[in-house]
Amino acid sequence: MVLINGAPGDCIAVNDRGLHYGDGLFETIPVVNGEPLCWERHVDRLRHGCERLRITSPNECLLFNEALRVCAAMKRGILKIILTRGSSDRGYRAPIDATATRIIADYPWPNYPEHYYTYGVTVRLCETRLSQNKQLAGIKHLNRLEQVLARSEWNDAAVAEGLMLDSQDYVIEGTMTNLFMVSGQTLITPELSLCGVAGIMRSLVIETAPVLGMTAKVAQLRLDDLNAANEIFLCNSVIGIWAVRRFIKREYPFGHWTNRILEQLHKTGVLANA
Protein backbone atom coordinates (compact mmCIF):
# COMPACT_ATOMS: atom_id res chain seq x y z
CA MET A 1 0.00 0.00 0.00
CA VAL A 2 1.10 3.54 -0.71
CA LEU A 3 -0.31 6.50 1.20
CA ILE A 4 0.00 9.90 -0.45
CA ASN A 5 -0.83 12.67 2.00
CA GLY A 6 -2.73 10.07 3.97
CA ALA A 7 -4.82 8.64 1.14
CA PRO A 8 -4.13 5.39 -0.71
CA GLY A 9 -2.86 6.18 -4.19
CA ASP A 10 -0.34 5.31 -6.83
CA CYS A 11 0.41 8.62 -8.49
CA ILE A 12 1.58 12.10 -7.55
CA ALA A 13 0.82 15.52 -9.04
CA VAL A 14 2.85 16.16 -12.17
CA ASN A 15 3.83 19.60 -10.83
CA ASP A 16 5.37 18.20 -7.64
CA ARG A 17 8.78 19.74 -6.95
CA GLY A 18 10.13 16.34 -5.97
CA LEU A 19 9.86 15.39 -9.63
CA HIS A 20 10.95 18.72 -11.12
CA TYR A 21 13.96 19.45 -8.92
CA GLY A 22 14.49 16.54 -6.53
CA ASP A 23 13.26 19.07 -3.98
CA GLY A 24 12.71 16.77 -1.03
CA LEU A 25 13.98 14.05 1.28
CA PHE A 26 13.55 10.35 1.90
CA GLU A 27 13.98 7.66 4.53
CA THR A 28 14.29 3.91 4.05
CA ILE A 29 13.18 2.01 7.13
CA PRO A 30 13.23 -1.75 7.76
CA VAL A 31 10.01 -3.19 9.13
CA VAL A 32 9.69 -6.34 11.25
CA ASN A 33 6.29 -7.70 12.30
CA GLY A 34 4.54 -4.46 11.43
CA GLU A 35 7.00 -2.30 13.35
CA PRO A 36 9.36 0.19 11.68
CA LEU A 37 12.77 -0.18 13.35
CA CYS A 38 14.52 2.83 14.86
CA TRP A 39 11.53 4.99 13.94
CA GLU A 40 12.56 7.91 16.18
CA ARG A 41 16.00 8.12 14.61
CA HIS A 42 14.61 8.15 11.09
CA VAL A 43 12.08 10.82 11.96
CA ASP A 44 14.78 12.89 13.67
CA ARG A 45 16.90 12.76 10.53
CA LEU A 46 13.89 13.63 8.37
CA ARG A 47 13.11 16.61 10.61
CA HIS A 48 16.74 17.72 10.48
CA GLY A 49 16.68 17.44 6.67
CA CYS A 50 13.51 19.54 6.60
CA GLU A 51 15.23 22.23 8.65
CA ARG A 52 18.23 22.21 6.33
CA LEU A 53 16.08 22.49 3.18
CA ARG A 54 13.45 24.65 4.88
CA ILE A 55 10.66 22.21 4.08
CA THR A 56 7.75 22.09 6.53
CA SER A 57 8.16 19.02 8.74
CA PRO A 58 5.21 16.65 8.79
CA ASN A 59 3.23 16.17 11.97
CA GLU A 60 5.07 13.27 13.57
CA CYS A 61 2.04 11.54 15.08
CA LEU A 62 0.28 11.69 11.75
CA LEU A 63 3.38 10.32 10.01
CA PHE A 64 3.71 7.52 12.55
CA ASN A 65 0.07 6.51 12.23
CA GLU A 66 0.35 6.45 8.45
CA ALA A 67 3.55 4.42 8.67
CA LEU A 68 1.85 1.86 10.93
CA ARG A 69 -1.07 1.65 8.50
CA VAL A 70 1.26 0.92 5.58
CA CYS A 71 3.34 -1.69 7.41
CA ALA A 72 0.58 -3.32 9.47
CA ALA A 73 0.57 -6.55 7.47
CA MET A 74 4.32 -6.67 6.88
CA LYS A 75 6.31 -9.52 8.44
CA ARG A 76 9.61 -8.22 7.11
CA GLY A 77 9.85 -5.45 4.55
CA ILE A 78 10.81 -1.89 3.79
CA LEU A 79 8.97 1.32 4.46
CA LYS A 80 10.04 4.24 2.31
CA ILE A 81 9.04 7.77 3.19
CA ILE A 82 9.42 10.51 0.61
CA LEU A 83 8.75 14.08 1.63
CA THR A 84 8.81 16.74 -1.07
CA ARG A 85 8.35 20.49 -0.81
CA GLY A 86 5.04 19.98 -2.62
CA SER A 87 3.59 21.31 -5.85
CA SER A 88 4.33 24.68 -7.35
CA ASP A 89 4.36 26.72 -10.50
CA ARG A 90 7.39 26.48 -12.77
CA GLY A 91 10.63 27.93 -11.42
CA TYR A 92 13.20 27.21 -8.73
CA ARG A 93 11.63 29.69 -6.35
CA ALA A 94 9.53 27.80 -3.82
CA PRO A 95 6.17 29.27 -2.80
CA ILE A 96 6.16 30.41 0.83
CA ASP A 97 2.92 28.51 1.42
CA ALA A 98 4.02 25.24 -0.22
CA THR A 99 2.39 22.19 1.34
CA ALA A 100 4.81 19.30 1.58
CA THR A 101 3.87 16.05 -0.17
CA ARG A 102 4.05 12.98 2.08
CA ILE A 103 4.52 9.59 0.44
CA ILE A 104 4.69 6.41 2.50
CA ALA A 105 5.22 3.24 0.52
CA ASP A 106 5.90 -0.41 1.28
CA TYR A 107 8.51 -2.46 -0.54
CA PRO A 108 9.46 -6.13 -0.28
CA TRP A 109 12.52 -7.17 1.69
CA PRO A 110 15.50 -7.20 -0.70
CA ASN A 111 16.73 -10.71 -1.50
CA TYR A 112 20.47 -10.26 -1.07
CA PRO A 113 22.38 -13.55 -1.01
CA GLU A 114 22.68 -15.03 2.48
CA HIS A 115 26.49 -15.14 2.21
CA TYR A 116 26.65 -11.31 2.02
CA TYR A 117 25.65 -11.43 5.69
CA THR A 118 27.51 -14.54 6.80
CA TYR A 119 30.71 -14.50 4.73
CA GLY A 120 30.95 -10.87 3.60
CA VAL A 121 31.13 -9.08 0.27
CA THR A 122 33.33 -8.11 -2.62
CA VAL A 123 33.34 -4.37 -3.22
CA ARG A 124 34.55 -2.30 -6.15
CA LEU A 125 35.74 1.28 -6.53
CA CYS A 126 33.34 3.46 -8.54
CA GLU A 127 34.50 5.95 -11.12
CA THR A 128 31.55 8.25 -10.43
CA ARG A 129 32.53 10.79 -7.79
CA LEU A 130 30.47 12.42 -5.06
CA SER A 131 30.42 16.17 -5.44
CA GLN A 132 31.05 18.40 -2.45
CA ASN A 133 28.42 20.77 -1.15
CA LYS A 134 28.23 21.44 2.56
CA GLN A 135 24.61 22.58 2.29
CA LEU A 136 23.53 19.18 1.01
CA ALA A 137 26.03 16.97 2.85
CA GLY A 138 24.73 14.44 5.35
CA ILE A 139 21.03 14.71 4.58
CA LYS A 140 19.08 12.14 2.59
CA HIS A 141 17.76 14.42 -0.16
CA LEU A 142 16.29 13.39 -3.48
CA ASN A 143 19.19 14.51 -5.71
CA ARG A 144 20.66 11.08 -6.24
CA LEU A 145 21.98 10.98 -9.80
CA GLU A 146 25.51 10.37 -8.57
CA GLN A 147 24.39 7.19 -6.81
CA VAL A 148 22.37 6.12 -9.86
CA LEU A 149 25.38 6.59 -12.15
CA ALA A 150 27.73 4.87 -9.72
CA ARG A 151 25.39 1.89 -9.35
CA SER A 152 25.14 1.61 -13.13
CA GLU A 153 28.88 1.00 -13.42
CA TRP A 154 28.69 -2.73 -12.74
CA ASN A 155 26.40 -5.65 -13.40
CA ASP A 156 28.43 -8.41 -11.82
CA ALA A 157 26.29 -10.08 -9.13
CA ALA A 158 29.51 -11.13 -7.39
CA VAL A 159 30.14 -7.47 -6.53
CA ALA A 160 27.78 -6.34 -3.78
CA GLU A 161 28.62 -2.66 -3.54
CA GLY A 162 30.80 0.12 -4.93
CA LEU A 163 32.73 2.66 -2.89
CA MET A 164 32.72 6.28 -3.95
CA LEU A 165 35.39 8.96 -3.64
CA ASP A 166 34.76 12.67 -3.58
CA SER A 167 36.48 15.06 -5.96
CA GLN A 168 39.48 15.29 -3.62
CA ASP A 169 40.05 11.52 -3.57
CA TYR A 170 38.66 11.03 -0.07
CA VAL A 171 36.71 7.80 0.37
CA ILE A 172 33.18 8.74 1.47
CA GLU A 173 30.76 5.80 1.35
CA GLY A 174 29.20 3.10 -0.78
CA THR A 175 26.40 3.85 -3.24
CA MET A 176 23.86 2.76 -0.61
CA THR A 177 25.96 2.11 2.50
CA ASN A 178 28.24 3.86 4.96
CA LEU A 179 31.78 2.62 5.44
CA PHE A 180 33.82 1.71 8.53
CA MET A 181 37.38 0.52 8.94
CA VAL A 182 39.02 -1.00 11.98
CA SER A 183 42.59 -0.11 12.86
CA GLY A 184 43.76 -1.71 16.10
CA GLN A 185 40.95 -0.94 18.53
CA THR A 186 39.88 2.17 16.67
CA LEU A 187 36.79 2.28 14.50
CA ILE A 188 37.00 4.93 11.80
CA THR A 189 34.31 6.19 9.43
CA PRO A 190 34.59 8.96 6.82
CA GLU A 191 33.81 12.52 7.74
CA LEU A 192 30.66 13.70 5.92
CA SER A 193 30.72 17.47 6.19
CA LEU A 194 31.05 18.00 2.43
CA CYS A 195 29.23 15.01 0.96
CA GLY A 196 27.66 11.68 1.80
CA VAL A 197 24.63 10.56 3.76
CA ALA A 198 24.82 10.29 7.54
CA GLY A 199 23.15 6.91 7.91
CA ILE A 200 21.11 5.74 10.89
CA MET A 201 23.06 2.46 11.11
CA ARG A 202 26.27 4.51 10.97
CA SER A 203 25.21 6.38 14.13
CA LEU A 204 24.27 3.12 15.82
CA VAL A 205 27.65 1.61 15.00
CA ILE A 206 29.48 4.70 16.29
CA GLU A 207 27.50 4.46 19.54
CA THR A 208 28.25 0.75 19.85
CA ALA A 209 32.04 1.20 19.73
CA PRO A 210 32.62 2.48 23.28
CA VAL A 211 30.33 -0.24 24.70
CA LEU A 212 32.87 -2.72 23.32
CA GLY A 213 35.90 -0.79 24.50
CA MET A 214 36.67 0.62 21.06
CA THR A 215 37.32 4.23 20.15
CA ALA A 216 35.13 5.58 17.37
CA LYS A 217 36.59 8.26 15.14
CA VAL A 218 35.25 10.30 12.25
CA ALA A 219 38.08 11.20 9.89
CA GLN A 220 39.07 11.92 6.32
CA LEU A 221 40.01 8.59 4.78
CA ARG A 222 41.99 7.77 1.67
CA LEU A 223 42.31 4.51 -0.24
CA ASP A 224 45.68 3.98 1.41
CA ASP A 225 43.99 4.00 4.79
CA LEU A 226 41.60 1.27 3.66
CA ASN A 227 44.51 -0.68 2.32
CA ALA A 228 46.18 -0.52 5.72
CA ALA A 229 43.01 -1.40 7.67
CA ASN A 230 42.61 -4.63 9.68
CA GLU A 231 38.90 -4.90 8.92
CA ILE A 232 36.39 -3.06 6.76
CA PHE A 233 32.64 -3.22 6.82
CA LEU A 234 29.61 -1.54 5.25
CA CYS A 235 26.34 -0.72 6.91
CA ASN A 236 22.88 0.64 6.35
CA SER A 237 19.51 0.33 8.06
CA VAL A 238 18.34 -2.47 5.80
CA ILE A 239 21.39 -4.70 5.51
CA GLY A 240 22.76 -4.05 8.97
CA ILE A 241 26.44 -4.92 8.49
CA TRP A 242 28.30 -6.58 5.65
CA ALA A 243 31.96 -7.41 6.21
CA VAL A 244 34.10 -6.40 3.23
CA ARG A 245 36.19 -9.41 2.21
CA ARG A 246 37.72 -8.06 -0.99
CA PHE A 247 38.37 -4.53 -2.25
CA ILE A 248 40.94 -3.47 -4.89
CA LYS A 249 42.98 -6.68 -4.83
CA ARG A 250 43.26 -6.78 -1.02
CA GLU A 251 41.51 -9.41 1.03
CA TYR A 252 40.18 -8.72 4.49
CA PRO A 253 39.03 -11.08 7.24
CA PHE A 254 35.51 -11.13 8.69
CA GLY A 255 37.31 -9.74 11.69
CA HIS A 256 36.96 -9.89 15.43
CA TRP A 257 35.65 -6.34 15.85
CA THR A 258 33.22 -6.51 12.95
CA ASN A 259 31.84 -9.64 14.55
CA ARG A 260 31.53 -8.08 17.98
CA ILE A 261 29.80 -4.96 16.64
CA LEU A 262 27.40 -7.16 14.71
CA GLU A 263 26.64 -9.20 17.85
CA GLN A 264 26.09 -6.06 19.89
CA LEU A 265 23.71 -4.61 17.29
CA HIS A 266 21.82 -7.90 17.26
CA LYS A 267 21.42 -7.66 21.03
CA THR A 268 20.00 -4.16 20.85
CA GLY A 269 17.36 -5.30 18.34
CA VAL A 270 18.15 -2.79 15.61
CA LEU A 271 18.86 -5.39 12.90
CA ALA A 272 16.03 -6.51 10.67
CA ASN A 273 17.92 -9.50 9.25
CA ALA A 274 18.23 -11.23 12.62
Binding mask 98-117 for a second copy (x = CB under 8 A): -----x-x-x--x-------
Q: Which residue, 131 or 264, has its beta carbon nearer to a second copy?
A: 131
- Of 7, 33, 54, 111, the one binding a second copy (CB under 8 A) is 54
Binding mask 211-240 for a second copy (x = CB under 8 A): ------------------------------
Q: Which residue, 18 or 255, has its beta carbon nearer to a second copy?
A: 18
Q: How far apart are CA 233 and CA 62, in angstroms?
A: 36
Q: How far apart are CA 34 and CA 69, in angstroms?
A: 9
Q: What is the dihedral of CA 85, 101, 75, 234, to 10 degrees?
A: -10
**β-bridge mates for residue 15, sequence order:** none
Selected catalytic residue, list 66, 161, 173, 231:
173
Distances (CA, A) of 54 to 25, 62, 94, 133: 11, 20, 10, 17
189 is catalytic: no
Q: Are 227 and 248 in contact (CB under 8 A)?
A: yes
Using the contact rule CB under 8 A, the part of the chain among 91-99, 113-121, 179-187, 240-248 near a second copy is 91-99
Q: Does 131 bind a second copy (CB under 8 A)?
A: yes
Q: Does 4 bind a second copy (CB under 8 A)?
A: yes
- Which residues, other chains included, contact 195 with Cβ-Cβ below 8 Å and sequence gap of 6+? 130, 131, 132, 133, 136, 137, 166, 172
Binding to a second copy in span 181-210, by CB under 8 A: 195
Under rule CB under 8 A, how many of the chain's residues touch a second copy?
59
Q: Does 44 bind a second copy (CB under 8 A)?
A: no
Q: Are 130 and 195 in contact (CB under 8 A)?
A: yes
3-class secondary-structure state, position 259 = helix
Residues in touch with a second copy (CB under 8 A): 2, 4, 9-23, 26, 28, 53-54, 78, 80, 82, 84-85, 89-94, 103, 105, 107, 110, 128-129, 131-133, 135-136, 141-152, 167, 175-176, 195
